[in-house]
Structure formats: structure tokens, C-alpha cells
Amino acid sequence: MNTTDTLKPGFLQKEIKITTSRFFLASLIYLTLPVVIFFIGYLKFGWAVLFSSLTVFSAWWAWHDLSKKNAGEVKELNEKSVTIKYSYLLFLIPVVLLFLYLGGVGEFSWCVGDHRVRYAILYDLIEYKWPVIYDLSTQSNPVVAESLGAGKVAFAYYFVFWMIPALFGKVFGLMAARIVLMIWSAIGLCLVALGANLLYGKQSRFLFLALMLFAGFDVFPYWYNQFSGFGSTWEDWTWHFRVVGNFYQIMNVFHQSIPGWIITIMLLLCVRSRCIGLLGSLMFCYSPWAAIGIFPLCVVKMFTTNKGLKAKEVLKNIFTLGNMIAPVVFFACFASFYLANSNATYDYGFIWKFYETWYGLLIDYAAYIVFEFGIWALLIHKKYKKDPMFYAAIATLLIIPIYKMSGPNDLLMRGSMAPLFTIALYSVMFVTDSFNAMMEKGNKKVKPRLIVLTFLVAAYTSLNFILTSVLLTSMIYAKIEPEQDMTTGIVSFGNIRDEQYLEMVQVQFYVYGYEDKTFFKVFAK
């Protein structure tokens, strides 16, 4: 074949049409396939067949319902589309891979300390039979072995995102699994980009870049702490009210953020309530914390999509197969699985329990509101003041910090994922409008430039993380400084190399007495 025939003039200008229906189909396949693999790999044959069948049916039914041509609401949904040029995909794919690489996905670059755990999760899902059970007597580190003693423990965590890479790893080895993890994450992030463009209504390179760089205005409290002598990192200027920007989400919890972002976009695109239960419960499979945060948004969406309908029609739209089957299946299975390890939710209570003075609490809470989402909310309020999802996101972010769960407050950090990403999407679309206006020939207006500059100020933290990753990765490969290898230290929860991680592994990942836990008694193989 002549290569000149393949790359004809204008090839990069060819276009594909992304409709809401097609986006939902691709996203539902992406989100449900790992869940089905978990069912097949972890559950007894009968439960595996039943839960897998119901999951596939729920996803198919939801997509089929969205694709009906004879419903007025769906006609509107199908008309929502965006045209994507091949040149955009040629830009998107390498940029996505670069963000994931610098974020440490697959541990091919410098990455934050949490990746010792991420690496161990993938390793154990490959090396151990499912469900993963550890024989404590096999620990080779004498300090760890003496501390743990004998017996067996099960492994429990929200690791559904790793199921497909782990499956490849069982056949082709660990390195293949790490590569597949990068590819699988890239597919998810490409869906995020296409969904964001669909929500925006047109193709935009700037939109995706801005979305990955989006963060709160952490730069102000960070520098205040530096000058006051208090000291803090870019995102850790307050411990109890801590939320993070989008790139930092990739660096730490890509397994929660990528599926969570896709589900949030799907929810925002919904014009019917008949599959919202499926979307909300799918979030539970990937992150129980994020499921708490998306629940209020699902409720508001349920009401707004049924606005103006008679009570009988509302009930008919709410009590559907899409809203009833999936939540029951996912909650029955994953709630019992997560709750098998009750030690993971240590250090919890109402937020005032963790403060010595009421004014200290008020100062931190006010700073959280202002710098993490309040400034953005003020900037975009005029554009989205008639959007109920905007107010639902704000209300959720105001209420969710009242109760704290876990030392670093995972309830807020991950529970804020859907509402904060909603604000991020709205803010980035607002900034993209200003960027496009600024780039128009002859446009010398000051306002668009100020808005873009404001965004760059907020993006300071994300840009710092990216720069840090670039510099430290370069130093690791150049052997200028000792390598910080996240593939060492833990390696496997069944054979912990370094005893300093023992307590953390015991608390977060071990299930003692698993034989008496509901999941392992009823559902597991």
C-alpha cells in the first residue's frame, strides 16, 4: 500500500460526530466492564452470573432508553452533539498520555508516595488468586512477620479500576499490566475530554488543558503560610478541609477520579431521570466516598428532569429498571465488601470535634469556601444562575465538610469530587469563552484577558506539580539523585518489604476474621 494514499491532503480535517447517545454507550461499556470482571473473578458462580447479567442489562436498558426516537426528551438529547476533527484526536492522545505519565500512573515516572500502595494493589491482583487472601506466615521481613504472626487475612479496597490491567497481567505479566493500566486510564481521560467538549458544544483544545489544570486558589493561603512561618505544601494548607485540583487527583487517586469525572459528565448531560440511579450507583463501585458526594446531585437531577410532569409520570420515570436494579446489585455486593474492613474509617466525627476553638474552625471553613470554590462560584454565577446543578454542587460542598471520616478526611477529599468537578467544568467553559474571545483578531477587551489571567493564578498549584514531576523524573533518569522507586517498599501486602508501612496496610487493606464477614460468607468464592 502506498503511504501517500493513507495520508491524503485534508486527512486531519476529517471529522467524527460525537452524540450524547454514543458518548453514553462508550462510557457505560468503559464503566461496567471492570465491574463485571470483578463479579466473575470474585463471586460464586450463581452470584457472578446473576449480578453480571443484571449489570449488563441495566446498562443496555439505560442506553436503549436514552436512544428512543419516540420520546420528546430523548430527541433533545440526541440532538446534543459535537464535531471532532481527526487533528483534535492527534492532539488529545499524546497530551492525555503525558498528563498520565507525569501523574505517575503505572509508576513509570516520579510519583507521590501513595503509589507504593497503587503498585502493590496491581501486583497482588496479578499474583494472587481472586478473592485475594494473604497467609501472614509468608512474610519475609522478620520484623513484619513477628508483628503479624500467623493466620490469614483478606484484601478489601475499592480496586475495580484495576481489574482489566490485572487480567492482562495474569496472562502477560506485571509490566504488561502497568502498560495496560496506562492505556486504560488514557481511554477514560479521552472520554472525559470528549464529554467535556460535548457539554461545551464545540471542539476546544484549550478546554481540556484548562480542565486538567483546574484547581482552587490555593496559591493565596499557601504563600500566606510561607510568609507567616507556618509552612505548608501547595494543596495541604488546611488539613481538615482539604480538597485538591484535577491534576493532583490524577497523581493520587486516578482510579477514583477518572471514572468519577465520566459519571459526573454523564449526569450533567442527562435530560431524563430513568437511568440516574445507575449512574449514581456506578460511582459507588469505584469510590464509596465519591458516591456520597454525587448523591445530592442525582436527587436534584431527578427532580429537574421531571419538572412540569404529572405525579404519575414522575413516579413512572423514577421507579424504572435503570434506577432500581443497578443500585440494589451494586450496594448489596460492594457495601458488604467495603464494610468487611471497618478499621479503614478511623478518626471520624463532626468537624468541630477536631478543633480546640470555634474561631479556628470558622477561619478554616471560611478559607475553604473562599479559596477552593467560592471565587469560582462568584465568577460563573451570572452564567449559571438558572442551573439547578450549579446550586446543588455549591450546597453539597458547603454541607459535606460538617462530618469528617478518616485522618486526612477522605469523605471531603473524595466526596467533593463530583460537585467540585461540576464547578470545574462550568468554570473551565466560562474561561474557554474568554480565551476564545481574547484570541479573536482585533479584540482588545480587558475582561477576557483578566479572566484567563485569573485562571492561570488558580492553575499555579497544578503547574507546580507538573514542573516538579518533570524535574524529578529527569533527575531520576539522569541518576542525579537517588531514585525514589515506588515499586519498592511495600511491593505486596502479602510480603511487605519495609516495616514502616505495616500499620497502614493493616488498617486500610487487611480484613481480619473475613470468614465471618457477609461478603465472604455469602457472595465470595
The per-residue DSSP string of 264-304 comes to HHHHHH---STTHHHHHHHHHHH-HHHHHHHHHHHHHHHHH
- Give the pLDDT band (50/70/90) at residue 222: confident
- Averaged pLDDT score across all residues of the chain: 89
pLDDT of residue 411: 87
CA atoms within 13 A on the CB side of 164: 19
At 319-376, the pLDDT tens digits run: 888 788 999 999 999 999 999 987 766 678 888 888 889 988 999 899 999 999 999 9
Residue 391 cell numbers, joined: 446550586
pLDDT of residue 67: 65
- Could you tell me if residue 149 is left (phi over 0), alpha (psi between -120 and 50 degrees) or otherwise beta? left
At 484-514, the pLDDT tens digits run: 778 888 999 999 998 899 998 998 999 999 9
pLDDT of residue 482: 57
Radius of gyration of the CA atoms of the chain, in A: 23
Percent of the chain whose predicted confidence (pLDDT) is above 90: 66
Domain range annotation of the chain: 37-523
Helix, strand, or coil (residue 405): strand
Contact 443, 198 (CB under 8 A): no
Cα–Cα distance list, 113 to 141, 252, 501 (Å)? 21, 9, 11
Helix, strand, or coil (residue 15): strand
Quote the pTM value. 0.94
In terms of C-beta distances under 8 Å and separation of at least 24 residues, what long-range contacts does 54-60 make, across chains too? Answer: 54/325, 54/326, 54/329, 55/326, 55/329, 55/330, 56/32, 57/321, 57/325, 58/278, 58/321, 58/322, 58/325, 58/326, 58/329, 59/28, 59/29, 59/32, 59/278, 59/326
At 56-114, the pLDDT tens digits run: 999 988 887 776 654 444 444 446 889 999 999 999 999 999 999 999 999 999 998 89
CA 261 to CA 263: how far, in whole Å? 5
Contact 162, 125 (CB under 8 A): yes
List, in order, residues 6 or more apart from 456 with CB less than 8 Å away.
Answer: none
What's the length of the chain? 525
Nearest partner of 170 among 130, 221, 117, 120, judged by Cα: 130
pLDDT of residue 288: 93
- Could you tell me if residue 302 is left (phi over 0), alpha (psi between -120 and 50 degrees) or otherwise beta? alpha
CA 386 to CA 375: how far, in whole Å? 18
pLDDT of residue 230: 58
pLDDT of residue 345: 63
At 368-406, the pLDDT tens digits run: 999 999 999 999 999 999 999 999 999 999 999 998 887
Cα–Cα distance list, 233 to 37, 216, 222, 248, 426 (Å)? 39, 14, 7, 12, 27
Asked if pLDDT for residue 418 goes beyond 80, the answer is yes
pLDDT of residue 113: 86
Residue type present at position 265: I
pLDDT of residue 241: 87
